[in-house]
Each structure stands twice: as C-alpha cells, then as structure tokens.
Structure 1
C-alpha cells in the first residue's frame, strides 16, 4: 500500500513537471523560435551608395526594409532571412546580385533590427511578408522575380510563392536554402516528447508543393545538424520542377560561404 501510494505520488509529480514544461513551451515559444537583435534607428544597415532603407507600416508595427537598387534591374531577389540577428547580418555580400543586375529586397521581422512590435502568430508573420512584397512588387512589373528564404525564411518564402501562383503571378524562381518540410516535423524530430499540438508555428512548407507552379531551387549542406538535408530531399521530390544542390561539407550557418553556392546563385540568376 505504501509503495503504491509512493509510486502514485512520483507519477503525479512527474506529470505535473511535464505539464508545466509543455505549458511553458506553449506560452514562451516565440523566445525559443526567434532570436532578434535590435538595432538603433540611427545606425545604417548598409553604407553602400546603391542601397536605401525604408519602413512598411503594418497593423501594430513598422517593418524595416533594406533595398539594393541597380540602375535598370532585370528583376528582384526578395529574400526572407533566418530566425536570428537583423539586416546588418543578412544584407551583405551583394556583389553577385549587382553583377547579375538584380535588385535585392530584405526586411526584418517584428522585433528584429529596427522593426517595431513583436511576433505573435504565424498568420501575422505571413501577413507581414505579403505586406512588404506588395509594397515593392509594383516596381518590378514585367521583370524577373525570385522569392527566396533561408532556414526559418524558407517556409515563409514557399508560402508567399504559392500565394503569388494562386493569383497568376508565379515567380520566375523560388530558392530555398536550408529548408524544412515543416517546423512541426522538425520539432518532432528534435523534441519527440513534446506533443505536436503545442507548436503554434507549424510553418508547413511541403503543403505548398502542389501550388508552386514555377521552378524551385533547393540548397542544403550535407552536414547540417540543425535541419537535416533529408528535409530538402523530401521537398525536392514533392515540388513539380525542382533541383537540389547538395553542398558538400556545409553545415547550417555556413552554407552561403561555399563557392559552389555562389556559383549556383550566379548561374540561376543568369538563366532568368
């Protein structure tokens, strides 16, 4: 009897700790998913003379945007960055785009860099992406459009590209670097003890496969320990017209530094 009571007490205690941990994840997962680095409003994102900064107003926030502008661009490379830092980290190494005569547009999510507000839901995040795109899209009517994302940004980029396809505005290329099939699947692989229902940011990428009508280019390091390359392999087999560049020796954060990636980017832009 004493043993049974003791066992029941232990199980109740373990259950309470587990429930507390799951509850904490539900309410605080923004702090786990997003690692913003604020930036002073008077600190320039780039000192290059062909770049400019501006803000896009959205409900409850102002989003900081960086824009590389070529004199007569062939098109635009709209890029959605990963889950950390700010535009000073991401809006760099732009010479390849200048050489290809492509403008570049990037923005900081809420709470990142000079952007105000805070991320509260996936729906809000996707709405912000569409708002920034719609602000710059009229400048590129009749020109080439590349929608791209890296890591966290890949699910957002795929969603935007699918949205444009549904409106008859399919991008000329969708480029996903270090992509995940969905954040829910990735979380289940890393934290198998957490119920999938807890994740409020499922960020499905695979579900957009049937809606993406144009070509898709996937780039993934074969040593990526954060998002295994199997995610991009699964996506590659699902998209209608896709190719996967396996970057030998690359991990998650250094994939863009490999010459094969720069060469592939230059070739992809040159073909458009």
Structure 2
C-alpha cells in the first residue's frame, strides 16, 4: 500500500515536471529558436561604396535592411539568413555577386541587429518577409530574381517563393542552403519527448517547396548534424526541377566556406 502511494506520488511529480517543461517550451520558444545579436545605430553593417542600409517599416517595428546596388544589375539576390547573429555576419563576401552582376538584399528579423521589436509568431515572420520584398519588387521588374535562404531562412524563402509562384511571378531560381523539410519534423528528431503541438513555428518548407514552379537548388553539407542532409533529399524528391549539391566534409555552420558552394552559386547565377 505504502509502495503504491509512493509510486503514484513519484509519477505525479514526474508528470508535473514534464508538464512544466512543456509549458516553458510553449511560452519561451523564441529564446530557443532565435539567437539575435543587436547592433548599435552607429555600427555600420558594411562600408562598401555600393552598399547602403536603411529601414523598412512594418507593424510595430522597423526592419534593418542592407542593399548592395550595382549600376545596371542583371537581377537581385534576396537572402533570408539563419537564426543567429545579424547582418554584419551575413552581409559579406559580396564580390561573387558583383562578378555575376547581381544586387543583394538582406534584412534582419525583429530584434536582430538594428531591427526593433521582437518575433512573436511564424505568421509575423512571413509577413515581414513579404513586406521587405514588396519594397524591392518594383525595382527589379523585368530582371532576374533569386530567392534564397540559409538554415532557418530556408522555410521563409520557400514560403516567399511559393507565394510569388501563386501570384504568377515565379522566381528565376530558389536557392536553399542547409534546409529542413519542416521545423516540426526537425524538432521531432531532436526532441522526440516534446509533443509536436507545442511547436508554434512549424515552418513547413516541404509544403511550400511542392508549389515551386521554377528551378530550385539545394545545398547541404554531408556532415551536417543539426539539420541532416536527408531533409534536403526529401525536399529534392518533392520537386520536378530541383538539384541537390552535396558538400563533402561540410557541417552546418561552415557549409558556405567550401569552394563547392561558391562554384555552385557562380554556376547557378551564370545560367540565369
């Protein structure tokens, strides 16, 4: 009898701890998913003469934008970065785009870099991406358009590209570096003890990818332990015009440093 009562008490205690942990994950999810690095207003993102920085107004925030603008570009490379840092980390190595004669546009999510506000939902993230793109879209009418994302940004890039396709303005290329089939699927692999209903940022890349009409290039490190390459393999199989570039020896955070990636990017831009 005493043992039964003790066992029941232990189970109740474990259940309470588990429920508390799940509740904490629900309400503190942004702190786990996003690792912003703020910048002061007087800290320049890039000092190159052909770049500028400014803000795009969105409901409740100002989004910090970096824009490399060439005299007569062939097109624009619209890039959505990963879950950490700020534009000083991501708005770099621009010479490859200059050589391909492509402008570059990047922005910091809410709370990152010089962007104000804070991320509150996936819907808000997608809306912010749309708002920044809408600011630039008229500038590149009749030009080549590349929608790209890396890591966290791949789900957002796929979402924007799918929306453009549904509007009859399919990108000339969608480029996804280290993508996940969905954040929900990735979370189930990394944290199998957490109910999938807890995740408020499911980011269904696979659903968006299936709607893409133009060519898609996937780049993935074969040693990526954070987002295993089978996510890119799944995405690639779901699309008719997809190419998967496997980067031998690359992990997650270093994939962009490999010559294979630079060659693939230069080749893809050169074909447009």
Question: Helix, strand or coil for the counterpart of 2:28?
Answer: helix
Match in the other structure for 2:107 = 107
- TM-aligned CA deviation for residue 240 of structure 1: 2.0
Q: In the aligned structure 2, how far is the partner of 1:223 from the partner of 1:73?
A: 36
- TM-aligned CA deviation for residue 239 of structure 1: 1.3
Question: Helix, strand or coil for the counterpart of 1:211?
Answer: coil
- TM-aligned CA deviation for residue 263 of structure 1: 0.5
Q: Deviations over 1:182-234 (max 9, x none)?
A: 00000000000000000000000001133100000000000001000000000
Over the aligned positions, Cα root-mean-square deviation in angstroms equals 0.4
Q: In the aligned structure 2, how far is the partner of 1:187 from the partner of 1:211?
A: 23
Q: TM-score, normalised by structure 2?
A: 1.00
Q: Deviations over 1:21-56 (max 9, x none)?
A: 000000001000000000001110000000000100
Match in the other structure for 2:81 = 81
Q: Deviations over 1:149-192 (max 9, x none)?
A: 00000000000000000000000000000000000000000000
Aligned residues: 272
Structure 2 unmatched ranges of 5 or more: none
Aligned pairs for 1:184-263 within 5 A: 184-263=184-263
Structure 1 unmatched ranges of 5 or more: none
Match in the other structure for 2:23 = 23
Q: In the aligned structure 2, how far is the partner of 1:216 from the partner of 1:41?
A: 36
Match in the other structure for 1:92 = 92
Q: In the aligned structure 2, how far is the partner of 1:208 from the partner of 1:132?
A: 19
Q: In the aligned structure 1, how far is the partner of 2:172 from the partner of 2:188?
A: 33
Q: In the aligned structure 2, how far is the partner of 1:179 from the partner of 1:199?
A: 18
Aligned pairs for 1:64-213 within 5 A: 64-213=64-213
Match in the other structure for 1:60 = 60
Poorly superposed stretches of 4+, deviation over 4 Å: none
Question: Helix, strand or coil for the counterpart of 1:62?
Answer: strand
Q: TM-score, normalised by structure 1?
A: 1.00
Q: Is the 8 A contact 1:45 1:66 kept in 2?
A: yes
